Structure 1
């Protein structure tokens, strides 16, 4: 399916033991990072990275991004209505699902609309949209048909995205006009033995004797657009010389089906997104010109990671649209359906459901446009925020659509309402392009690595205290203040609307507590923290709650500042979300260090091992004792 479920150095080297203080990701330790290790801790404008260090960094959070120029905004106003009309009048999601294929008229119309080349520069045949503009159109697609959305996303969000990001001028000029004018693209990484563990791929490419081609052999599974793609970004192991030895490293290639030796299996029979084409793809002695290496020999892992990181905000945008559509359906039903002499919307339990659904959608949408806006503004460190947006959006969309079905009751369970199809379509979003489980570990371990660089600097300072008295005393003062409970946290009052200052103050305080929890985890576990996945998940959960709170506080404050229609409603949504999300953080952080939680994690681990070892539930049925 839509590429690989991969995030962390192929999964197999989440945290190599390069230091006793903090785990570092192999392959990411470049000459620049080596210099940072010598010259002090790495600096970043990322909110989430700094959260792990206990510092509040507002640069990419406040104020809410406003990246669109007047021309870009006008272009969106012209593009969105015809796209919405197309999905309302031309596309038939139920028929696409039933036939496991997008209707030909829909496909032709999408190509005519330019929907397959939204971010390709205009001079190369595309619409040249920014990330924010792309997010808005993807949101429209997500509100109507996720199967069609996967076909579009597999093509451009990951299929040829590597050419946009890493292609040289010749590669862009040769391929981008083709992928905007009728030729499908696909992203080919996942293999039978490597899902999240992309470093274990077996597909190989070796240089031919003529020195002009690589000979590619192997296979890929679950490839979206795999049966229809003419142009593929394929990842394979290649032998390279390093330190006098021959080693395998992953390389990205642009492969055409017309090269010969490329074939596909039959479409997979899937639970959802049935109209998207998903197949195995086989490569047998495919001759790939050396000019089709993408991003340099041995740099395939970097290419794959950047492609996936660059496109995750689009998933959040699409699922914000899905949630908005489900809420509208549930709200209409609740407002008109009468039971026990009242409309459903008059019952407190239904009101709470609708409120929580609205909060989740609001936060998802805030994340999508905060990440895309930061990318358009030139931000470099947005990868953790993009990962959070994917995790949060896919979890939230599942909850929102499930609750919409609950509000509609038996009617919601029927195919006619369309919600059962949406729920089936949604299930894959928590799995592909980085499973949510792996992405939570990615957030936690990357944040810990960032925090650990500060601790390393402090350790070096104590080795030469005379030369680093300022650092030592500032750190000692910070710790002493925290120890006696005097730490107030960052003052965010000037960044948010008056109605949200209490929540902002709580957020500022919890950022500091998050940093102290991370430090305690590192001191307790050291390099062994990689094995403490229950602890890592709590740190990641706290990070998700902190970042989503910052996003909604920023978005609602923008609405209030600009006196937008519905600003009062946005302020209520933000206050309600922050109340619950920030309220969860202390318990999550406490679970990373208190003895009771540690004992419980060990108990759960033992239970899980027992179930796995015995092949299922150990307990016999109570009737047959």
Structure 2
């Protein structure tokens, strides 16, 4: 039987076809279209397909290829290799690097960086033949996690150098560029920086003003411009720089488009401003970088002219797992300090851990950490497996990890009381350090909109294709879509691929995926292209998508553990609690996305417009009424 919604859908779909023709089609699908009619039907361009779980989520589909089984796959050699890197790194972090001193002096000494480089930490994923450590992304994530637990400032130096600084050379550089630059960069003999942000362009990377114009002899690009807030900018030797280049179009016109370049400080014309004074990550260097008539050989172009935006996005997507990995380490540090504190501190005649509210807070911290860690290693492992379409999963990992790390650290301080506010405790430094990660490499607000709009665009293309196929009387499309709406989670019931003890939780998540797809479908049909301006709804859709992906990562990881060990009661409890909490949040966000009234959004807009119009808060103070 069809429910009311699906009856309405069928009526809506059929209204696009002449009523008699539609009735005849439903009565006898096989004989519904004559050969001559079929020959005249316009060819419909197929919408893109992908195995990305989050992309397909926006169509209400549970495509499980990249999430089940849990993709972590380190062989014995890789595990041994990882331990060979981690052991000296942990010793270095405990005995050499001093995060308190780095924070106090607002720098990490060159000697400390030199010793860190000798461990291979600055060339983690560079092939061994280019003097790198030859780690894969999963191993790199574990290294970043360990560093993040000790000193996020050092983690930023490491990440700015290799996750984005010279990542463009790894991804887009010619063999000659790789041989020329990577050995020195992988060993820390030289340092790299990523130069994208400008005073007029933050999240809007296409609006940069720096210019790169070819010299008259065609052998160089001449770069002029400036960049702000560049990590490692004060001491880097090699820069990945993005600048506008004039591109000639087939119609004879010229238009500026962003291109990417490898620039050396040694080229001349490259200068840096003084170190910025920051809230946190003070040990890392952040500075403005200026380019004045810098001559860059044409061979140092990364990718093609005009493809700089694509280069930048690929670099950021590829390196984005480093942030959640470091945040996971910081969370673990905060949780362990809290456990040590609440199991020894006595108040009102009891140990703190005996109070129900303390138990709730610590449990919440542990659950958030488990979910974040599950996403980190699912993402890194998929990248190692050669998955290419992971941009939404990477964005979700960054948002989820940085938000949760901030919350966990804040709660750790709360549970330490006044002691947590004191410098000696160390948590206040971690909180200051963590704050930037919700802004770094794509502010979380922008990342949420990116997830929602990219997913909605993907779903919208399929919806548009469906409409065209229906208009051309493609009845297989009609019945295929009808089936999808009746059973939205096409692919599999997640409960069927989990360990038996988690089956019901997986089935519940599958139902949430169906509700998600239905919500996106309703929003697209209601707002069409206007969806791009519906940020109230988009943010809630993104939040639901984040929770659903996190639930799938958690259940997949827990099932992986149960299948290997046979019994993991503690881990299973964590997974079950997270799924209950995240499912409730997702359902509420979906409800708000669909049920919000225009009057509610209008009221928000009116209040904000009143304030912006006066450039001040305008409500009366109670004393003055």
Q: Shared fold by TM > 0.5?
A: yes
| 1:152 aligned to which of 155, 158, 169 | 158
Q: 2:64·2:492 contact (CA, 8 Å) conserved in 1?
A: no
Q: Which residue of 1 aligns with 2:624?
A: 624
Q: 1:490·1:509 contact (CA, 8 Å) conserved in 2?
A: no
Q: 1:151·1:224 contact (CA, 8 Å) conserved in 2?
A: yes
What CA distance in whole angstroms lies between the structure 2 residues aligned with 1:585 and 1:107? Answer: 44
Secondary structure in 2 matching 1:434: coil
What CA distance in whole angstroms lies between the structure 2 residues aligned with 1:224 and 1:409? Answer: 33
Q: Which runs of 4+ in 1 moved over 3 A?
A: 477-482, 487-490
| 1:222 aligned to which of 220, 226, 229 | 229
Q: 1:489·1:509 contact (CA, 8 Å) conserved in 2?
A: no
Q: 2:470·2:477 contact (CA, 8 Å) conserved in 1?
A: no
Task: Give RMSD over aligned pairs.
Answer: 1.5
Secondary structure in 2 matching 1:327: helix
- Judging changes above 3 Å, is the alpha-carbon distance between structure 1 residues 164 and 218 closer, same or farther for their aligned structure 2 residues? same
Q: Which residue of 1 aligns with 2:595?
A: 594
- Judging changes above 3 Å, is the alpha-carbon distance between structure 1 residues 477 and 46 closer, same or farther for their aligned structure 2 residues? closer
Q: Which residue of 2 aligns with 1:525?
A: 527
Q: 1:488·1:509 contact (CA, 8 Å) conserved in 2?
A: no
Q: Which residue of 1 aligns with 2:515?
A: 513
Q: Is 1:199 paired with 2:206?
A: yes
Pairwise CA distance, 1:616: 2.8
Q: Which residue of 2 aligns with 1:277?
A: 285
Aligned length: 581
| 1:241 aligned to which of 248, 254, 267 | 248
| Correspondence 1:532-547 to 2 at 5 A | 532-547=534-549
Q: TM-score, normalised by structure 2?
A: 0.91
Q: Which residue of 2 aligns with 1:109?
A: 115
Q: 1:205·1:236 contact (CA, 8 Å) conserved in 2?
A: yes
Q: Is 1:612 paired with 2:612?
A: yes
| 1:53 aligned to which of 55, 59, 73 | 59
What CA distance in whole angstroms lies between the structure 1 residues aligned with 2:451 and 2:510? Answer: 20
Q: Which residue of 2 aligns with 1:318?
A: 326
Q: TM-score, normalised by structure 1?
A: 0.91
Pairwise CA distance, 1:490: 4.2
What CA distance in whole angstroms lies between the structure 1 residues aligned with 2:496 and 2:482? Answer: 29
What CA distance in whole angstroms lies between the structure 1 residues aligned with 2:382 and 2:498? Answer: 19
Pairwise CA distance, 1:586: 1.8
| Correspondence 1:28-427 to 2 at 5 A | 38-181=44-187, 182-243=189-250, 244-427=252-435
Q: 1:236·1:251 contact (CA, 8 Å) conserved in 2?
A: yes
User: Structure 1 unaligned runs (5+)?
Assistant: 1-36
Secondary structure in 1 matching 2:192: strand
What CA distance in whole angstroms lies between the structure 1 residues aligned with 2:223 and 2:483? Answer: 59
- Judging changes above 3 Å, is the alpha-carbon distance between structure 1 residues 498 and 164 closer, same or farther for their aligned structure 2 residues? same
Secondary structure in 1 matching 2:507: helix
Pairwise CA distance, 1:477: 4.0
Pairwise CA distance, 1:463: 1.3
What CA distance in whole angstroms lies between the structure 2 residues aligned with 1:415 and 1:201? Answer: 39
Pairwise CA distance, 1:210: 1.4
Q: 2:242·2:258 contact (CA, 8 Å) conserved in 1?
A: yes
What CA distance in whole angstroms lies between the structure 1 residues aligned with 2:59 and 2:498? Answer: 23
Deviation per residue, 1:410-441 (Å, 9 max, x gap): 11110001100000001100111000011001
Q: Which residue of 1 aligns with 2:40?
A: none
What CA distance in whole angstroms lies between the structure 1 residues aligned with 2:514 and 2:311? Answer: 35
What CA distance in whole angstroms lies between the structure 1 residues aligned with 2:483 and 2:78? Answer: 49
Pairwise CA distance, 1:452: 1.1
What CA distance in whole angstroms lies between the structure 2 residues aligned with 1:436 and 1:54? Answer: 24
- Judging changes above 3 Å, is the alpha-carbon distance between structure 1 residues 261 and 104 closer, same or farther for their aligned structure 2 residues? closer
Secondary structure in 2 matching 1:494: helix
Q: Which residue of 2 aligns with 1:26?
A: none
Q: Which protein shows a greater Rg?
A: 2
What CA distance in whole angstroms lies between the structure 2 residues aligned with 1:61 and 1:547? Answer: 9
- Judging changes above 3 Å, is the alpha-carbon distance between structure 1 residues 349 and 249 closer, same or farther for their aligned structure 2 residues? same
Q: Which residue of 2 aligns with 1:549?
A: 551
User: Structure 2 unaligned runs (5+)?
Assistant: 1-42
Q: 1:263·1:283 contact (CA, 8 Å) conserved in 2?
A: yes
Deviation per residue, 1:218-271 (Å, 9 max, x gap): 000000000100100000000011122111010000000010001000000000
What CA distance in whole angstroms lies between the structure 2 residues aligned with 1:601 and 1:504? Answer: 35
Moved more, 173-182 or 280-289: 173-182
Secondary structure in 1 matching 2:271: strand
